[in-house]
């Protein structure tokens, strides 16, 4: 896949393993500075101070138990800033912007008349020096896409990313709709069967889901489901949880 040619390969003993535990952590950012009014915006808001704290708390948890080797994020600032904070605090040098993990391309979430597109890596790297300027995204979706198209897109991209760096653990930082789509992909549940077969719950701000497998090509097991145990204060209770319309 394209991903495997644009990323550093795993080195040494790891590279020889076809079996080996791999975990994928999927995180939603914490509280943004402004609430998004559907179809109106703002579409690319900053993190509020509580969102910055949530990113640090995610980093602390992952430093203790995650052993993350690669971080991939949506290019939207609230996801990217979360990924950058984690990268700094777990001392992992690079964050990869993966356009395939970008926000659901629907009028409600990016605007209808002139759909919002985040700045390119060239424009973001000055503010976020953690960014890997050499990484090339697997895909770049264009407006507009249905819920089913979005779920299929992020599910495929997330599985390609995991396979491309196996058996290294990875962190994926994105938006609630995309995270649910990735979760369906790792569960192996088709979008149209999600309400019946998925174990995913509505995804709160700062929530974290973990999937794990024991070999390349093996089935993924859900170890954590939209957990907020790593967060402090009221955020530990799971605030502003969201799920796809098809799962409601």
CA distances from 55 to 90, 174, 189 (A): 11, 13, 29
pTM (predicted TM-score): 0.92
* Residue 176 pLDDT class (50, 70, 90 cuts): very high
Q: Give the pLDDT score at 117.
A: 97
What are 129-175's pLDDT values in tens digits? Answer: 999 999 999 999 999 999 999 999 999 999 999 999 999 999 999 99
Which residue from 64, 56, 66, 85 is spatially nearest to 26, judged by alpha carbons? 66
Kindly indicate the confidence band of residue 15, based on its pLDDT and cuts at 50, 70 and 90: very low
Give the model's pLDDT for residue 66: 75
ω into 167 cis (within 30 of 0): yes
Long-range contacts of 1-9 (CB under 8 A, 24+ apart): 1/138, 1/160, 1/163, 1/164, 2/136, 2/138, 3/138, 3/160, 3/161, 3/164, 3/165, 4/164, 6/134, 6/135, 6/136, 7/70, 7/96, 7/135, 7/164, 7/165
Model confidence pLDDT, tens digit, residues 47-105 = 999 999 999 999 999 999 879 999 999 999 999 999 999 999 999 989 999 999 999 99
Residue 26 has pLDDT above 70, yes or no: yes
Partnered with residue 76 across adjacent β-strands are none
- Tell me how far apart the alpha carbons of residues 210 and 213 are, in angstroms, rounded to a whole number: 10
């Amino acid at each position: 896949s394209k991903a495997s040619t644009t990323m550093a390969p795993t080195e040494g003993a790891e590279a020889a393993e076809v079996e080996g535990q791999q975990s994928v952590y999927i995180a939603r950012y914490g509280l943004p500075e402004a609430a998004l009014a559907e179809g109106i915006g703002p579409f690319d808001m900053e993190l509020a101070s509580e969102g910055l704290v949530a990113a640090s708390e995610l980093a602390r948890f992952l430093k203790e138990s995650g052993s993350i080797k690669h971080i991939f994020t949506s290019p939207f600032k609230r996801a990217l800033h979360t990924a950058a904070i984690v990268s700094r605090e777990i001392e992992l040098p690079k964050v990869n912007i993966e356009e395939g993990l970008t926000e659901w391309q629907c009028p409600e979430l990016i605007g209808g008349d002139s759909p919002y597109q985040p700045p390119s890596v060239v424009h973001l790297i000055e503010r976020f020096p953690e960014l890997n300027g050499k990484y090339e995204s697997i895909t770049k979706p264009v407006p507009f896409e249905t819920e089913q198209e979005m779920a299929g897109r992020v599910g495929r991209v997330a599985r390609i990313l995991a396979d491309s760096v196996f058996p290294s653990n990875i962190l994926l930082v994105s938006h609630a709709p995309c995270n649910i789509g990735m979760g369906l992909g790792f569960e192996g549940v088709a979008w149209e069967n999600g309400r019946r077969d998925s174990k995913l719950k509505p995804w709160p701000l700062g929530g974290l889901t973990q999937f794990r497998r024991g070999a390349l090509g093996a089935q993924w097991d859900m170890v954590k489901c939209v957990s907020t145990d790593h967060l402090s204060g009221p955020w530990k209770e799971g605030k502003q949880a969201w799920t796809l319309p098809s799962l409601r």
